[in-house]
């Protein structure tokens, strides 16, 4: 069996959370389970999960009825972006439905090999805005520190697919020191976002060594971590990790969520541990065709996030990364989703819809237009119900 590291993986029957069926059929109950010999302790061990990531089609055939296209794409994907799926995340997939929202995010299809004329190798021009290796300085007061190219699961729409998973290595000590030296020398930098790949895949002491170096810079006010680990490998969130992270406040974590079915009991537990460590949590969601591009799905996701103390932060228009056109929606789809959220639910559940401008222009917010006209200090506005209101601005403008 081609599972990285071993052939073991959990005991209970594989049950899909993507299916509309509440109770599995007798046939489903007796489907092969490649992880039945794993103990509960092994299943809950994040290192075990990483060692047993599925990287080939053969192991996936034991839990999924793969289409011929999926099989072909998995075997071909090594040249583009490797396939790697944790047993935990694989177990969330619908066995029979290739359109399962969990399955579509992680299993490649041959559509990835279609290149659109609009596709870009580096859609956000991160390489062009990198003064030293591993550091992106695009905005005046903040930088992005890329510390690894490894993820627990490789999302097929990844904007950094040019680099993610290529070596599964981390930034070297010399490269890290060079990046920190740049931050120290650039006094206007007050915010450092540590991302990758996924920095939470580091051992606690390795991650702490990075946090400590950044925290020592006097003018760095906040540190952020960008991660998808609480979703794809929630076992990684441990008491020892959260105890270590608490030492580096103010620390924020942005978590990438895509669909409400990702919010399992394991994810709830992981986010609770982080929140109870005093870490503010925000979500980032990429708008994906056929996965979360309906207002009802996105609203449910936002509501579920608030219930686990994660503040919806961004919905991203899918970037122009190579081979991702089949995931992209018209921009109007995202605007319509915001229209169906704002006023129809709590403001905390309404993220910003942004386009990360191709070529390194940064995040540009887009959304419905609520201002109808402005003339001689009088503004005509509409609300979420379409009702029209006038607002008279002050005649004395303060001059």
Which residues contact residue 399 at a Cβ distance below 8 angstroms, ignoring those fewer than 6 apart?
Answer: none
Q: How many CB atoms lie within 10 A of CB 214?
A: 19
Given 18, 228, 319, 328, the catalytic residue: 319
18: annotated active-site residue: no
Nearest to 160 by CA among 133, 122, 120, 127: 122
224: annotated active-site residue: no
319: annotated active-site residue: yes
Given 91, 95, 104, 138, the catalytic residue: 138
Cα 265 from Cα 326, distance rounded (Å): 31
Cα 245 from Cα 239, distance rounded (Å): 10
Given 100, 158, 170, 318, the catalytic residue: 158
Q: Where are the alpha helices (DSSP H) in 3-100?
A: 26-29, 40-43, 46-51, 57-61, 68-76, 87-90
Given 100, 151, 170, 318, the catalytic residue: 151
**DSSP for residue 209:** H
Given 91, 95, 160, 261, the catalytic residue: 160
Given 95, 104, 142, 224, the catalytic residue: 142
160: annotated active-site residue: yes
Given 155, 170, 271, 318, the catalytic residue: 155
Residue 89 burial class via C-beta count within 10 angstroms: exposed 0-12, middle 13-18, buried 19 and up: buried
Run of H or E residues at 241 = helix 239-245
Nearest to 183 by CA among 145, 238, 224, 127: 145
Cα 156 from Cα 80, distance rounded (Å): 10
Cα 298 from Cα 260, distance rounded (Å): 8
Cα 218 from Cα 232, distance rounded (Å): 34
Peptide bond just before 250 cis, omega within 30 deg: yes
Instruction: For tokens 């020592």, name the residue.
Output: 216
CA angle 107, 110, 112 (to 5 degrees): 80
122: annotated active-site residue: no
Nearest to 362 by CA among 154, 129, 21, 30: 129
Decide: helix, strand or coil at residue 380: strand
328: annotated active-site residue: no
Cα 336 from Cα 24, distance rounded (Å): 36
318: annotated active-site residue: no
Run of H or E residues at 239 = helix 239-245
Given 363, 370, 382, 384, the catalytic residue: 363
Which residues contact residue 62 at a Cβ distance below 8 angstroms, ignoring those fewer than 6 apart?
Answer: 1, 32, 33, 34
The residues assigned a catalytic role are 138-139, 142, 151, 155, 158, 160, 319, 356, 363
């Amino acid at each position: 069996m081609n599972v990285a590291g071993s052939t073991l993986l959990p005991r209970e029957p594989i049950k899909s959370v993507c299916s509309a069926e509440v109770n599995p059929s007798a046939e489903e109950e007796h489907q092969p389970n490649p992880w039945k010999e794993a103990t509960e302790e092994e299943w809950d061990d994040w290192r075990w999960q990483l060692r047993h990531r599925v990287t080939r089609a053969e192991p996936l055939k034991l839990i999924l009825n793969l289409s011929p296209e999926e099989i072909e794409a998995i075997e071909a994907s090594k040249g583009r972006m490797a396939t790697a799926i944790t047993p935990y995340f694989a177990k969330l997939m619908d066995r029979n439905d290739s359109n399962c929202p969990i399955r579509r995010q992680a299993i490649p299809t041959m559509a990835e090999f279609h290149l659109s004329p609009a596709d870009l190798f580096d859609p956000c021009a991160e390489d062009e805005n990198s003064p030293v290796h591993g550091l992106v300085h695009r905005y005046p007061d903040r930088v992005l520190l890329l510390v690894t190219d490894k993820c627990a699961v490789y999302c097929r729409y990844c904007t950094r697919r040019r680099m993610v998973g290529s070596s599964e290595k981390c930034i070297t000590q010399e490269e890290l020191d060079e990046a920190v030296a740049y931050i120290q020398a650039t006094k206007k930098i007050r915010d450092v976002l540590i991302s990758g790949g996924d920095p939470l895949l580091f051992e606690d002491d390795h991650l702490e060594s990075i946090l400590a170096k950044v925290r020592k810079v006097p003018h760095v006010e906040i540190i952020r971590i960008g991660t998808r680990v609480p979703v794809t490998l929630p076992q990684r969130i441990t008491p020892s990790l959260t105890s270590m992270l608490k030492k580096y406040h103010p620390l924020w974590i942005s978590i990438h969520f895509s669909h409400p079915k990702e919010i399992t009991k394991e994810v709830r537990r992981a986010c609770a541990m982080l929140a109870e460590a005093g870490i503010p949590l925000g979500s980032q969601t990429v708008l994906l065709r056929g996965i979360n591009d309906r207002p009802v799905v996105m609203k449910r996701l936002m509501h579920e996030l608030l219930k686990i103390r994660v503040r919806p932060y961004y919905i991203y228009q899918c970037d122009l990364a190579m081979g991702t056109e089949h995931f992209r929606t018209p921009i109007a789809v995202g605007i319509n989703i915001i229209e169906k959220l704002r006023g129809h639910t709590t403001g905390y559940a309404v993220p910003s819809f942004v386009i990360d401008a191709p070529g390194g222009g940064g995040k540009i917010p887009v959304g419905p237009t609520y201002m109808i006209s402005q003339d001689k200090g009088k503004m005509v506005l509409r609300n979420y119900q379409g009702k029209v209101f006038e607002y008279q601005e002050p005649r004395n403008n303060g001059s």
